[in-house]
Amino acid sequence: MVQSAFKISLPIMFGFVPLGIAFGLLFQDLGYPWYFASLMGIIVYAGAAQFMAIGFLSAGLGVVEIAMSTFFLNSRHMFYGLSFLESFGNWNIRKLYLIFGMTDETYALLTTIQVPDSFVKERYYLYITLFAQFYWVLGCTIGALLADILAFNTDGMEFAATALFVVLLIEQWIIVRRLLPFIVGFVSSVIALAFFINHMLLVAIMISIASIVFMRLIKGSES
């Protein structure tokens, strides 16, 4: 099961390691000891928020502003949990960790894969989530440690994250086979881009969920 989880988590590695390295490199510019980059990867574990933190730290922003900005930036994750209310199992440490580990990438992967019948779902999820965070912490650490030595030209490697989401989009289509959620997602994205470009992700997710709830209620009242 661990081996299978490792194999299925590899696409996340291609996204997380380069992105983590990029974070580590930038973090190193602030002049703190390198292991704080790893620490952030371990206890904060949020890609976009960590990049945002670099700006905050160099500006010396207040703690309350930082807390609120982080909350707002990550609030899309509130909607991710809805898909896992049942499948994360009973309340225990494992569940608390699975919730902690829900980044865009793990959410995308876990909602798309089919867990083989012979595996305990929550454990399989746990291994994948652990591998994913390991890749992220590894990237953060490498970036911060090797800030001066790194010679490999990583330009363009950030495309791995886009490619991952494209792949999972195709897989979602194979699972779902209904055009509606994809159209709603696309239209919501365009609306959010047009009016709220700075908070595009959150706004698009809220519009799309509100729209399908609305459509569902109308359909329900007709029958």
Partner 1 sequence: MNELDYLIIVIIVMALSTYFTRLIPFVLFSPGRESSILNYVAKSTPPMVMMILVVYMLKDMNYYSYELVFTFTAIAVTIGFQVFKRNALLSIVAGTAVYMFFVQI
Binders in 113-152 for partner 1, by CB under 8 A: none
Sign of CA dihedral 36, 37, 42, 44: positive
User: Count residues contacting partner 1 (CB under 8 A)?
Assistant: 89
Q: Does 66 bind partner 1 (CB under 8 A)?
A: yes
Tell me how far, at minimum, the Cβ of 134 lies from partner 1, in Å: 17
Nearer to partner 1, 70 or 142 (CB): 70
Residue 54 interacts with partner 1 (CB under 8 A): yes or no: no
Least Å distance between CB 117 and partner 1?
20
| Site stretch for partner 1 (CB under 8 A), options 61-69, 121-129, 134-142, 143-151 | 61-69
Q: Please state the closest distance from residue 4 (CB atom) to partner 1, in A.
A: 13
The counts of H helices and E strands in the chain are 11, 0
222 binds partner 1 (CB under 8 A): no
Determine whether 29 is exposed, middle or buried from the number of CB atoms within 10 Å of its CB (0-12, 13-18, 19+): exposed
Among residues 2, 120, 173, 195, which is the contact residue for partner 1, using CB under 8 A? 173
Q: Of the ranges 56-64, 117-125, 130-138, 140-148, which one interacts with partner 1 (CB under 8 A)?
A: 56-64
Residue 61 carries which DSSP code? -
- Binding segment toward partner 1, per CB under 8 A, in 8-16, 119-127, 128-136, 139-147: 8-16
Residue 202 makes CB contacts below 8 A (sequence gap 6+) with 72, 75, 76
- Looking at residues 152 to 171 of the shown chain, list those that interact with partner 1 (rule: CB under 8 A): 153, 155-157, 159-171
**Of 2, 92, 116, 186, the one binding partner 1 by CB under 8 A:** 186
User: In Å, what is the CA distance from 169 to each residue of 20, 106, 174, 182, 219?
Assistant: 23, 14, 9, 9, 26
Q: Is 102 in the site for partner 1 (CB under 8 A)?
A: yes
Taking the C-alpha atoms of residue 53 and residue 74, their distance in angstroms, rounded to an integer, is 13
DSSP H or E run through 203: helix 200-222
Please, are residues 23 and 137 in contact by the beta-carbon 8 Å criterion?
Answer: no
What is the DSSP-derived secondary structure letter of residue 45? -
